[in-house]
Amino acid sequence: MKFGVIIFPGSNCDHDAYFTVEHVAKQKATFLWHESHDLENCDAIIVPGGFAYGDYLRTGAIARFSPVMDSVRKFADGGGLVLGICNGFQILCESGLLPGALMRNVGLKYVCKPVHVRVENASTPFTNSCSEGEVLTIPIGHMEGNYFCDPATLEDLKKQNRIIFRYCLPSGEVTASANPNGSLENIAGISSAGGNVVGMMPHPERSAEPELGCTDGVKIFHSMVEAFVAR
């Protein structure tokens, strides 16, 4: 399986994602430059974390117009697997690949720490290595992680089982105290209607090896590989 990791001006988690794919998940990876339309025959695309184009205007607002995102939209429309992590989640929302928006954290402070997220849907190409209700420990690092959408969109997300992760306590209980950023209904990650696009604020590439203090994040990458093999 071949992963493409996009590099925007300001990306700073691209090499982390690349390393996790190549050295932990043991899959081929290549970098994709933001000015190129060529996805180089990749089987999955990772839109990484960072501060694409300096996050000017608002997070992801400029990145949505990059040539590579035009190709990513077409790739996703054809059923290709796309994972947006942190700033990547913001970019996917701005690009229309996912609904809603990521606003400033409640409290207006940057939050960087390990959090617990509950797997709400274990039947996606990104969570098939998990079990429903499983609690994962994965770090966050963001200023705009406060997910918001209108009531109709929220209802659709619930009905279609498209809320993939929720912030929770270590016990799995979803509470206000477990919400690090004020995100609507503790939402930490969602999927597209087709299930082939997922955006998540936590960084699975930062929790994929014992040296990082946690290995739960590697399950996301293993799930993508298993989904591809099962096609």
Separation in Å, CA 227 to CA 70, 125, 128, 220, 230: 24, 5, 8, 11, 5
186-205 CB burial, b ≥16 within 10 A, e <16:
bbbbbbbeebbbbbbbbbbb
Q: 3-state class of 41 per DSSP?
A: coil
Enzyme catalytic residues = 86, 203, 205
How buried is 36 (Cβ within 10 angstroms: 0-12 exposed, 13-18 middle, 19+ buried)?
A: middle
How far is it, in rounded angstroms, from Cα 84 to Cα 179?
Answer: 20
Radius of gyration of the chain (CA): 16
